[in-house]
Structure 1
Amino acid sequence: MKFFSSTIRDTVLREQLKQLHRNLLPEILAFTLVVVLAAGLVYRWSGDTRVVLWASIIVLLNCFGIARAFIYRNDALTKPGLIGVWETIMAIVNGTLFALLPLMVVPDATPEITMWIVFACTGLAAGSIATQSSWLPVFLGFNITQMCALAYALYHRDEPVYQGLAVGVMLLLVTLSLFALNLQSTIRQAIILRFENDGLIHKLRSALTQTDEANRAKSVFLASASHDLRQPLHALGLLTETIGGTSLNSQQSEIQQHMMSAIDSTRTMLDSLLNISKLDAGAISSEPKPFLVQSLFSKLEAELAPTADEHDLIYRTRETIAAAHSDPFIVELILRNLIANAIRYTTKGGLLVACRTRPRDALLIEVWDTGIGIAPDKLNDIFREFNQLDNPERDAHKGFGLGLAIAQGLAKTIDSEIQVSSVLGRGTVFRFALPYSTAEIIEDLPRHNRAVDFSGAKVLVIDDDARIRASMRALIQTWGCTCLDAESAIEAIELVGEQPIDLLLVDYRLREGRTGREAIHDLRLHLGHHVPAIIITGDTGTERIIEAQSADALLLHKPASATQLQRMMQTLLKTQTPRH
């Protein structure tokens, strides 16, 4: 503790001396000017050459002081205690030299000369409050000597007025010393407060750095964990859906449905982890355009109303003719999470999805429910990741505590924010604002397409996992496609030869550090034309997401459902003429 106090004391003293040195040059110049004027005035009055010698000594000493001012301007002051003693000695020397002036002149001077010297001494004392108070020993060392000498010289004059003036000089010295003491205390407190603030800022920056590192570590963990889980789950999901398309008896069909339910639950969890990772990576960007809000409402009702029916809930949508200007796909993701959350936490009654017009060309999208409600002190907690208010047993059927965090993150990408109002035991409403659109022609949102027949299409699958290739081949063949598969780009080129290919399905991570993006480039170069491609990846890392999105191919994340794959294939093959 003693070492710590000594360190703090040296640090504060160092800053006091730095401030003293910043004032040193103007202080010396002003002091030199007063000495030269005083010497000239006294010499003109008395012709005493001693005053010239006195002034010369002080000027030479002040030249040394000017040199000190430049030396200490950028000095680190590694030994502040020693420098403080040195500055105090120099102040005493200067004060003693200047004290010779009243001692030599005042006893025999005229009233005019005497008053001028009194003015010079007291003026220097008053001015030094501003320049020397950061280090009180310097102020006292200079002023006690010269002010006491002035008072002594005045007191020993015969006239009572001068003796009274001597008392006034001493009172002034005491008053100025008290001012200097208070000012030094203020300066010290300001220095200490500054260092305390610097310490707090350092701690804050350190805490923010640790938080950022923790968030990055979390994103890396989620990305790695979800990638390792996606690989086998992707194969399992494709094989299970392929089995569902075959002839099964009732018991086998029931088992297959339970398997798909478990796979869908796991897929939902991994998709949530992927969305969180995307938000952290900044890989989700908004592409605003005008769209009809009712088209989005109808689409979501068609998809999610059956789920509400399964829970004996009433799903209602309030019809609207409003049009919004935002990213319809991000808005859909936000609403999907809010509606799923409403269904999950509502046991009776139902939910309402509505749109209201607000002033300043704004639309308010709302999701009402008659669920369990949220306590007022928990309203800010619900948007935290992995936070669930009514699921201590972590039942997967109640979600994973990511839906609202994802929805809020998505809302920020479209410059909006989800707000919530709730009454415990009666229900909750979530709402967010969207800009109103005044476009005359608004392209309606695309609706889900029915299953299509890909008969005649030739698809090349590249994946270094034999299980994935087998499951992908079995599924694609049920859609009427001809499927070729290889574990690397080199093997694929040898396998394809000169055969025409309609679509490439390529895993992102291949053997020997190769990527799916490189494989697509090699295949297109070999075939001599642009071939539509889908990159399939379980990697949710920041760099991987951004890199994959920049490829000239669609991106599909594992574990992908057969429906997702089918829709992407339809998008890419709808303009292609299948090759026979």
Structure 2
Amino acid sequence: MSVIDQKRQDALQALQEENQRLKKINVALIERVEAGSAVNAAPYAAFEHSAALAEQVRERTEALSVAMAELRQTNQALKQANLSRSKFLAAVSHDLLQPLNAARLFTGALLDQVTEGDLELLAHSIHRSLQDVDSLLGTLVDMSRLDAGVIKPDISVFRLSDLLDNLATEFHQISEAEQRQFSYCSSSVVVSTDLVLLARILRNFLTNAVRYTPVGGRILLGSRRRGASVEIQVLDTGVGIAEDQLERIFEEFQRIKPEPGLQDRGLGLGLAIVDKIAGMLAHPVRVNSIAGRGSLFSVCLPLAEPDALPSLPSHQQGTDQQVIQGSRVWVLDNDPAICTAMYSLLTGWGCEVRTALRVTELQHCFASEPEGPALLIADYHLDGEESGLEAVKRLQSQYGSQAAVLMITANHTNVLRQHVRGLGYRMLNKPVKPLKLKVTLAHLLRQALTPGQG
């Protein structure tokens, strides 16, 4: 609620209270007049006073009606604004994230194939530019969704290493490309929180550490136990933050001025998003910094008992690449660019890949390959009224397919995520990061290879 709306609400409440008070006084005086017991035996004077009070009540009632009408107009305007915001988010999710998703996949395939020379430098430049676009667009969408109140925590119990190991792999590559030194200390603790939202907090910390650390500087991702909690820390030897700026950095559009040679490619919204998410999860955020020497950003979250962990697959042999190599993967997406990009990326990893724009094409594939795929990747939004989930269900029931399923979507709602999880599938949001895709595919294939695991 805006400041103006709050003032209107306060004024409305004050008018209502005064109106009730005047009505009580008016009733009391009229009763005294009728009983003939007014002060100084002057019933007419009391009656005149009562009439004046009645006029005040009428005036206050009219003012109250005007205030209520204005409040209704404000509420209607807010509803329209929220509707417009929802339409904007839907348009961003589909119209902008779709081509960006294809571009990220194409770049991932290109980086896997070029290893030297000017072409490699060009590929890395394209990759970094797309990362910047992805980060900026994702930041704007996240802030809009947080302001609209559409993000709700989805609490689960998991090993902290499941998240930190993936982040470490991702930012080791990013730091290496940016000529920074990256170190990581793993953790075996079990925590209880929203994995996706916690990842956003830590990814913002790590992105800022890379952004504001000069070439050759050091970045460390680690954690410390604090009683019944664990504090996840990101340390860097970057430019640091002046003491009088520490509180302001969590405000929207506040950015640290980079030193010469450092590019500030952010919007100044990353830490504002961190502040909102941390408040939503009730996870305290801490920052210590010395200008010119570096910074420490951390978030503290509750530990959970290992017994609370869901049943996990025990078959963990081989690297991700070894698990993926030679696996049969089918892709269903109504965007030809996505199909082409997925084919290039997955075949580069050694997968046997089939792509289809329509579910009928995959139905024909079962005629020649009745065993079906080991893994099925489907886009949630397909042509027509059928969703990716409905298409997968039809394929599995019709052909008895037991393939692992990965759903790709621009829909970030917890309702869909929980629904997909309840079906035993996994879900990734667009734009899909190639490294995250590879880790997820390996995880799903390991599950499929483990007896008794779905």
TM-score > 0.5, shorter chain as reference: yes
Structure 1 counterpart of 2:107: 240
What letter matches 2:390 in structure 1? E
1:136 deviates by: 0.8
Q: Kindly tell me: are residues 337 and 480 of structure 1, through their superposed partners in 2, closer, same or farther at Cα, counting changes over 3 Å? A: same
Asked if the contact 1:16–1:135 (Cα under 8 Å) also holds between the matched residues in 2, the reply is no
Structure 2: where are the runs of 5+ without partners? 1-15
Q: Alignment length, in residue pairs?
A: 420
1:344 aligns with 2:211: yes
**Bigger mean CA offset, 508-517 vs 247-256:** 247-256
Structure 1 counterpart of 2:154: 285
Q: Kindly tell me: are residues 439 and 250 of structure 1, through their superposed partners in 2, closer, same or farther at Cα, counting changes over 3 Å? A: closer
User: What are the superposed Cα offsets for residues 268-323 of structure 1, whole Å, 9 maximum, x if unpaired?
Assistant: 3344455546654224422145758xx97777666546755776766677x79895
Asked if the contact 2:380–2:389 (Cα under 8 Å) also holds between the matched residues in 1, the reply is yes
Q: The residue matched to 1:469 in structure 2 has which SS?
A: helix
TM-score by length of 1: 0.57
**Bigger mean CA offset, 192-201 vs 255-264:** 192-201
What letter matches 1:532 in structure 2? A
Question: Which is helix-richer, 1 or 2?
Answer: 1
Structure 2 counterpart of 1:515: 387
Structure 2 counterpart of 1:50: none
- 1: CA distance between counterparts of 2:138 and 2:235? 25
Structure 2 counterpart of 1:475: 345
Structure 2 counterpart of 1:326: 192
Q: Kindly tell me: are residues 506 and 254 of structure 1, through their superposed partners in 2, closer, same or farther at Cα, counting changes over 3 Å? A: same
**Bigger mean CA offset, 246-255 vs 307-316:** 307-316
Of the candidates 391, 394, 398, which is equivalent to residue 526 of structure 1? 398
- 2: CA distance between counterparts of 1:490 and 1:462? 10
- 1: CA distance between counterparts of 2:386 and 2:440? 24
Of the candidates 407, 417, 431, which is equivalent to residue 559 of structure 1? 431
1:430 deviates by: 3.1
- 1: CA distance between counterparts of 2:295 and 2:252? 19
**Aligned 1:166-315 pairs, distance under 5 A:** 214=81, 217-218=84-85, 220-246=87-113, 250-273=117-140, 275-276=142-143, 279=146, 280-288=149-157, 304=171
- 2: CA distance between counterparts of 1:435 and 1:404? 21
Asked if the contact 2:225–2:231 (Cα under 8 Å) also holds between the matched residues in 1, the reply is yes
Structure 2 counterpart of 1:179: none
1:484 aligns with 2:354: yes
Asked if the contact 2:332–2:355 (Cα under 8 Å) also holds between the matched residues in 1, the reply is yes
1:28 deviates by: 7.1
- 1: CA distance between counterparts of 2:98 and 2:191? 38
1:546 aligns with 2:415: yes
RMSD across aligned C-alpha pairs, in angstroms? 5.0
1:22 aligns with 2:27: yes
Asked if the contact 1:17–1:134 (Cα under 8 Å) also holds between the matched residues in 2, the reply is no
Structure 1 counterpart of 2:300: 433
**Aligned 1:377-526 pairs, distance under 5 A:** 378-390=245-257, 398-422=265-289, 427-435=294-302, 449-497=319-367, 499-502=370-373, 503-526=375-398
Structure 2 counterpart of 1:568: 440
Q: The residue matched to 1:506 in structure 2 has which SS?
A: strand
What letter matches 1:23 in structure 2? A
1:513 deviates by: 3.4
Q: Kindly tell me: are residues 510 and 132 of structure 1, through their superposed partners in 2, closer, same or farther at Cα, counting changes over 3 Å? A: farther
